[in-house]
Every structure is written in structure tokens, then in C-alpha cells.
Copies of this chain bind each other. A is one copy, B any other.
Amino acid sequence: MDEPVLLTGAGGRVGQAILRHIGDRFEWRLLDREQLGESKRPDSVPDDDVFATDITDEAGVREAIDGVYAVIHLAGDPRPEAPWDSVLRNNIDGTHTLFQAAVEAGVEKFAFASSNHAVGAYETTDRTPDLYRPEDDFRLNGTELPRPSNLYGVSKATGEILGRYYHDNHDISVVNVRIGNLTEGHPPIDYERGQAMWLSYRDCANLFERCVLADYDYETVYGISDNDRRYYSIERARSVLGYEPTDNSAEYEDEDESDCANGDDD
């Protein structure tokens, strides 16, 4: 693979997890709405490969995506409580812009950052909090219909369907990664749900690396570490992508690290 990988939303939390851990693995194009400071990108990426571009800017996206092998599409409004107008524009329309530009440019693979919020309403009161505990065997595995818990989740489920359309009709490999709760260094404290869907930075980077390297058609996988507590299956991520998670939120449960902040869900 000699062609570059386009990373959108490169300055966000997921983008930074990827660049810190696998920043030396690919030739990158980095796109972010804001100018990406030098501390936020690998030294090996020249200024010409860094784009301060809004993802709804069709011409700007076309320029950034030209000659690219694969796209990791993270850009969008990341707030679970984001209002409709913002997710309509940034997440739904923006993802359409990326897919359309990708197929026109002949991109081979497209990894889409979906979210646990696309299926958050499976966490009904009769299932929780048992769902978050190691002995519970309920699993979502990516074949279930979306059940969004908010309009942000609706926008992510729509991005998955856009991927289905582009895969079926335009011969591009698409993987949706329903990202759990990404925090650096340590799982969220006193938050069982977050521990059940914890994704460590290095596991996040490994998973997206596999999205670039593996062969697949259209897949929906869960992006979590190898947690004892979990209600998302990672079997498809392992078997189809070759994902090899290293971390497990259970390894931190007896510690008292009050200096570690809780993260938001992605």
C-alpha cells in the first residue's frame, strides 16, 4: 500500500489516539475543520498533507481525498446531545460528502466512526444495570437494527446506511466502527456502562489500523477493548478485521486512581 490514508477529524480525541499510536504506520492526509497544530500531528506529515477543511466543503474534500487508498472518517459533531441542525449538517450531510468524494476518487476502503449511541436504546430499564456486569450474557453483535438513544445516534445510524448504499452500488469496502467509551490511560471511574464499553487509546489505534489493512466487504463492528464487562461482541472485529485488543477495564477495577478523569462516550 503506497497510497496515503485520509484521516478526517484528525484533531479530535479518536484521531489523536490513532495518530499517537500508529502515526508512523501510514502515509497520512490529515483533515480537520481547524488548523492542526504541530503537536497534533506526526513529524512525518508535511504541511501540504494537512487540510483545514470543513467536511461539507465538497471542493476541499475532493482535493484532500485525491489519490488516497483508504479513508478513516471521524469528522462530525461528537456531542451525544448535539442538536438536530448540527448533526444533519456535520454528520449526515458531511458523511455523504465524504462517501461521494471517496467513490469518485476510487478509494478502496472506508472506515466510518459510528457510535454506541446508534444502539443506545437497547439499554432498556429491564436490562440495566445487569447489562453492564460481567455475568450478563446479552450481546449486540452488529447485525441488529439501530436503536438510537439521541439524534446524534440517529445521525450515526444514517452514516452506516450511507455506507451500505455506497458499498452496494459503488464497490467500496465499508466498515462501521461503533465506538464505545474512549478514554486515555484508564477506564472511566464509577461508571459501569463506560467500563463495559471502554476502548483504550492503543486498542482504538489497533482497530482502525486493521480497518485499513484487512479485507472486507461491508461490516459493522463494535469498538471496545477486551473488557470482562461487556454487552458488545468483538467477534466480528477479531475474525474479519484481525483486531487484537490488549486492554480490559477489569484490570483497573480495584485501583483507586482519583486523578483520572471520566471520559465522554463517543
Evaluate contact between B121 and A148: CB separation under 8 angstroms: no
Q: Are B168 and A121 in contact (CB under 8 A)?
A: yes
- A154 contacts the other chain (CB 8 A): yes
- Which one of B100, B150, B158 lies within 8 Å of A158 (CB-CB)? B158
Evaluate whether A165 and B121 lie within 8 angstroms (CB atoms) in the complex, with A145-B145, A158-B158 already known: yes
Neighbour of A145 across the interface among B92, B96, B150, B164, CB < 8 A: B164
Bound CA–CA A143/B144 (angstroms): 9
Q: In this assembly, does A189 line the interface, its C-beta being within 8 Å of a C-beta of chain B?
A: no
Q: Main secondary structure on chain A at its contact with chain B?
A: helix
A261: interface (CB < 8 Å): no
B161 contacts A121, CB within 8 Å? Answer: no
Known contacts being A158-B158, A169-B149, is A164 close to B88, with CB within 8 Å? no
Q: Of all chain B residues, which has the CB nearest A121?
A: B168
Given A88-B96, A96-B84: A150 touches B165 (CB 8 Å cut-off): yes
Q: How far is the CA of A92 from the CA of B147 in the complex (A)?
A: 17
- CA distance in complex: A146, B218 (Å): 13
Q: A164 CA to B143 CA in the complex, in Å?
A: 16
Nearest CB to that of A220 among chain B residues? B145
A54 within 8 A of B: no
Q: How far is the CA of A121 from the CA of B161 in the complex (A)?
A: 12
- A146 near B158 with CB under 8 A, answer no
**Please, how many angstroms separate the alpha-carbon atoms of A265 and B100 in the complex?**
25
A130 interfacial contact with B, CB 8 Å: no
A153: B residues at CB distance < 8 A: 165
Contacts of A162 in B (CB 8 A): 154
- Answer yes or no: A107 CB below 8 A from chain B CBs: no
Query: Nearest-CB distance from A142 to chain B (Å)?
Result: 10
**Which residues between 127 and 149 of chain A lie within 8 Å of chain B, taking CB atoms?**
143, 145-149
Residues of B within 8 A of A158 (CB): 92, 154, 157-158, 161
Known: A88-B92, A96-B88. Contact between A165 and B161, CB under 8 A? no
Query: Do the beta carbons of A165 and B154 come within 8 Å of each other?
Result: yes
> In angstroms, how far is the closest chain B Cβ from the Cβ of A56?
11
The complex places the Cα of A157 from the Cα of B150 at a distance, in Å, of: 17
Q: Any chain B CB within 8 A of the CB of A93?
A: yes
Instruction: Name 19 A/B residue pairs within 8 A (Cβ), A-sorted.
Output: A88-B92, A88-B93, A92-B158, A121-B169, A143-B145, A145-B145, A146-B161, A146-B164, A147-B164, A147-B165, A148-B161, A149-B168, A149-B169, A150-B169, A153-B165, A154-B161, A154-B165, A157-B161, A161-B161
